[in-house]
Amino acid sequence: MEWCLSMPKVELHAHLNGSIRDSTLLELTEGLIRKGVMDISELEHIIRKYNRSVAEVFKLFDLIHILTTDHTTVTRITKEVIEDFATENVVYLELRTTPKRNDSVGMTKRSYVEAVLKGLRSITSVEVDFIPHCEDSKSLFSSLPPIGHVRKRIYVRLLLSIDRRETAEAAMETVKLALEMRPFGVVGIDLSGNPSIGDWTTYLPALKFAREQGLYVTLHCGEVPNSEEIKNMLDFRPQRIGHACHLEDEHWRQLKSSKIPVEICLTSNIRTLTIRSIHVHHFGDLYKAKHPLVLCTDDSGVFSTSLTEEYKYAADSFGLGRREMFELSRNGIEHIFANSQVKEDLRNFFNSVAKKYG
Ligand code: 6MZ
């Protein structure tokens, strides 16, 4: 399925710290062990495991965060993650990350995001568009010679995540930061973190404020069974939701009538045992119902996957062919949070290569 790799793709659900290259993670871990800063024996069994439960995945994130809490590392991983997505022929990436404060290295939420932006600016091997332009400025795909003649091109937009461990005030701080950072490509807010922790209503004032101010909102919804939360999240009508695993019949009805697009993360859901088998994954039902969907990686590093692999997995598991997968990828454009000029540029680009996948 070489075409899964060459096909242009849209990635809308990727967590920065979950998408770190294995080699980089290993290098960072070894560095800290050498310095005697950390002892990973307690976590070794989790690192070595193939399938990790949701709780174990979040222990792993705590470890990753110990490794990536300085500006230089944040800049480095951002650069590498974007290069890796571009290598996969991802032409539009919405990368999400939780702004973090780390007093010991003078890191504020703002300087964290600035380190991410520095990573974006430092990329030279790929054409990156991350600053939103005015409607009549040049577009990434139409302004350059046909693809193949120049370096790979990728639009990158950022979502700032609120972690379910944070306070209402910290969440509001993240939303205000997102508003300040809009000129640098921040387009929305994500609510994520361990789904078994906290009460999402803590973040409602911040999420409502974000929406009032014109930021897009996507919520991790239904990663664990929680009927009331799922209903209330759907009532909130976010612009997209991620996962949607543990919905009950009434939620499915509500979701389908609302047409809220779903970010589907197949490997993540199977590896964390959130869904017991790919054959009963709700992708099948939603795809048949023509519900708006986007295939995504979630955490390509943590789950050893890639967007190409996710497309192959869906094609193999649900008997879909090249044409159908291309259409699925192309339809993703309609659910991105960037402006109409970016959408139009992507539509034209997909049209220009469509016959290869017909
Ligand atoms: C919920 C997840 C997640 O923000 O530090 N995150 N939240 N469900 C998931 N499914 C497995 N995968 C990742 O990236 C890592 C953070 O993203 C969220 C968690 O809060 C995790 O700590 P950043 O770049």
Q: Does residue 11 have an active-site annotation?
A: no
- Dump pLDDT digits (tens) for 161-212: 999 999 999 999 999 999 999 999 999 999 999 999 999 999 999 999 999 9
Using 50, 70 and 90 to split pLDDT, how confident is the model at 36?
A: confident
The predicted structure's pLDDT at residue 152 = 92
CA distances from 52 to 48, 196, 223, 270 (A): 10, 15, 14, 10
Q: Please provide residue 14's backbone torsions phi and psi, each rounded to the nearest 5 degrees.
A: -135, 120
Report how far ligand 1's centroid is from the alpha carbon of 18 (Å): 7
The predicted structure's pLDDT at residue 23 = 87
Category of 315 on φ-ψ map: left (φ > 0), alpha (ψ -120 to 50) or beta? alpha
| pLDDT > 90 fraction of the chain, expressed in percent and rounded | 78
**Average pLDDT for residues 230-234, to the nearest whole number?**
98
Tell the CATH topology of 2-67+159-339: TIM Barrel (3.20.20)
Take atom 17 of ligand 1 and give the residue whose Cα is closest: 15
User: Which atom of ligand 1 lies at the shortest distance from residue 268's CA?
Assistant: 11
Average pLDDT, the chain: 93
| pLDDT > 70 fraction of the chain, expressed in percent and rounded | 94
Using 50, 70 and 90 to split pLDDT, how confident is the model at 149?
A: low
How many other β-carbons are positioned within 10 Å of the β-carbon of residue 32?
Answer: 15
SS3 state at 2: helix
Tell me which residue has tokens 């409607």.
135
Asked if residue 16 has its Cβ within 6 Å of ligand 1, the reply is yes
Q: Where are the domains of the chain?
A: 2-67+159-339
Report how far ligand 1's centroid is from the alpha carbon of 284 (Å): 25
Residue 12 parent element (H or E):
strand 9-15
The predicted structure's pLDDT at residue 130 = 87
The predicted structure's pLDDT at residue 125 = 93
* Helix %, strand %, coil % of the chain (to 5): 50, 15, 35
Closest listed residue to residue 159, CA positions, set 145, 147, 175: 175
SS3 state at 9: strand
Using 50, 70 and 90 to split pLDDT, how confident is the model at 45?
A: low
User: Which atom of ligand 1 lies at the shortest distance from residue 98's CA?
Assistant: 4
The predicted structure's pLDDT at residue 43 = 65
- Dump pLDDT digits (tens) for 52-101: 788 888 888 888 898 888 999 999 999 999 999 999 999 999 999 999 99
Closest listed residue to residue 26, CA positions, set 67, 80, 57: 67
Residue 111 has pLDDT above 80, yes or no: yes
pTM summary value: 0.96
CA distances from 321 to 8, 96, 172 (A): 15, 30, 44
> String of b and e for 241-256 (b: at least 16 CB within 10 Å)?
bbbbbbbeeebbebbe
- Dump pLDDT digits (tens) for 279-297: 999 999 999 999 999 999 9
Q: Determine contact, residues 300/265, Cβ cutoff 8 Å.
A: no
Q: Determine contact, residues 181/157, Cβ cutoff 8 Å.
A: no
Report how far ligand 1's centroid is from the alpha carbon of 61 (Å): 7
Sign of CA dihedral 70, 71, 74, 79: negative
- Strand partners for 217: 189
Q: Is residue 258 packed enough to be buried (19+ CB in 10 Å), middle (13-18) or exposed (0-12)?
A: middle
Q: Determine contact, residues 108/114, Cβ cutoff 8 Å.
A: no
The one-letter code for the residue type at 307 is L
Please give the Cα distance from 288 to 268 (Å, whole number): 21
SS3 state at 15: strand
Please give the Cα distance from 153 to 82 (Å, whole number): 11
Residue 108 has pLDDT above 90, yes or no: yes
Among 94, 114, 223, 310, the active-site one is: 223
Asked if residue 15 has its Cβ within 6 Å of ligand 1, the reply is yes
- The DSSP output letter for 298 is B
Please give the Cα distance from 195 to 99 (Å, whole number): 18
